[in-house]
Amino acid sequence: MRFSRFFRHTLNSLFAFGAFLILPAQADDTRETLTQKKWELGLGVGAVAGPDYRGSDEYRSFISPIPYFIYRGNFIHSDRDGVRGNFLRTNRYEFTLSASAAITPDTDKNTLREGMPELGSTLELGPSFNINLSGKDFSQGWHLQLPWRAVFAIGADDSGYVGSIIQPQLVYRTTLSDWTFSYRAGITYASDDYHAYYYSVAPQYVTATRTVFSADAGYSGWNNNLALSRRFTHQGFTTRLAFFIRYDNIEHTDITASPLVVDKHSVRGGIALIWVIK
C-alpha cells in the first residue's frame, strides 16, 4: 500500500505520540496508587533524536505535539508499558497482551538506502509473560519480561506485517525523591522477514557500493534503556516531565554483514513535557 508524503508524516507524528505516552506514565509514584484516577487526558510536546534505524550512521531529530491519554481499566490499561490487556495478573506474575510503537521518520533521506523503499514506523503487538523478581508488585524493584510481538509497518510505501521479535528483558523501577526511575536491559531475536525489512538488499537495488544481501532469522543485538520522569502539581495544574535514553549494540549479529549497516552502536534519546487537562 502506498501513502502520500503528508499521510506518512501524519502517521509518524501519531507514533511519536505513542512513544511518549509510555514515558510520562512512568511518573506514577507508587505513593499515588490509591488516588490514581481511572483515566487522564492531556497535551504536550516531545522531541526524539536517533538513527534512521539500528546500524545506520545517519541521525535525525523529530519534534511533535503530543496528545496524552492514560486509562486504568480492569482489563485494558495504557500505562508505563504502553497499551496492554491483562489476561492474568498477580503481584508475582502476569500474562498480558501489549502493544508499542517505534518512530522511523524520513528514511527516504538516508544515503545508504537511496533508491530503496522508505521504511515505515512500526506497531508491535503480542503477548508477554512477566515475572516479578523483587518488590511488592510490578511498580517497583526487578522483574523479567518475556514478550513476543508481531511487527507491522505503517506509513511507508509498503505497509503491513514485516516479521516478529522476541525481546527478553530485565526491568528495574524505583523512586528517587519525587522522580521515578526505570532501567531496562534486553536482547532481541528476530524473524528473517523482520531482518529482511531493514537489512536485505534485493537484486534490483544493487549499486556499485551496495551488494545483494539476504537477511536470516536470529540474534538481533542487545540494548540498555534509562528513563526518568516526574509529576508536578501547582495550584491545581498537573504537568509531567520525562526523559529517556537508549543504547543499542548489534555487534556479533549476522545483520552487520549487510551493506546497509555502518554503525554497530547507536544511541537514541528524547524528552517530553505534558500538561494534564483532566
User: Whole-prediction pTM value?
Assistant: 0.84
pLDDT for res 178? 87
For residue 194, the one-letter residue type is Y
Pair 62, 47: CB distance under 8 Å: yes
For residue 144, the one-letter residue type is L
pLDDT for res 26? 39
Q: What is the dihedral of CA 132, 134, 135, 141, to 10 degrees?
A: -90
Distance CA 109, CA 200 (A): 18
pLDDT for res 3? 46
Distance CA 234, CA 238 (A): 7
Pair 146, 128: CB distance under 8 Å: yes
Distance CA 209, CA 49 (A): 27
**Sequence-distant (≥ 6) Cβ neighbours of residue 234 within 8 angstroms:** none
Distance CA 105, CA 254 (A): 25
**Sequence-distant (≥ 6) Cβ neighbours of residue 176 within 8 angstroms:** 228
pLDDT in tens, the chain (278 residues): 444 454 455 455 555 444 444 443 433 444 444 356 677 788 888 888 999 999 999 999 888 887 777 766 665 555 555 555 566 778 899 888 877 778 777 778 899 999 999 898 888 999 999 999 998 888 889 999 999 999 999 877 778 999 999 999 999 999 988 899 999 999 999 999 999 999 999 999 999 999 999 999 999 999 999 999 998 988 878 898 999 999 999 999 999 999 999 999 999 999 999 898 86
First CA to last CA distance, the chain? 38
Sign for the CA dihedral angle at 8, 12, 17, 19 comes to positive
pLDDT for res 197? 96
Q: How many CB atoms lie within 10 A of CB 187?
A: 15
Q: Specify whether domain 5-276 bears CATH 2.40.230.
A: yes
pLDDT for res 29? 40
Distance CA 273, CA 32 (A): 20
DSSP string, 222-247: EEEEEEEEEEEEETTEEEEEEEEEEE
- Domain borders along the chain are 5-276
Distance CA 105, CA 24 (A): 22
**Sequence-distant (≥ 6) Cβ neighbours of residue 119 within 8 angstroms:** 52, 53, 104, 107, 113, 153, 156, 197, 198
* pLDDT tens, residue by residue, 119-138: 988 889 999 999 999 988 88
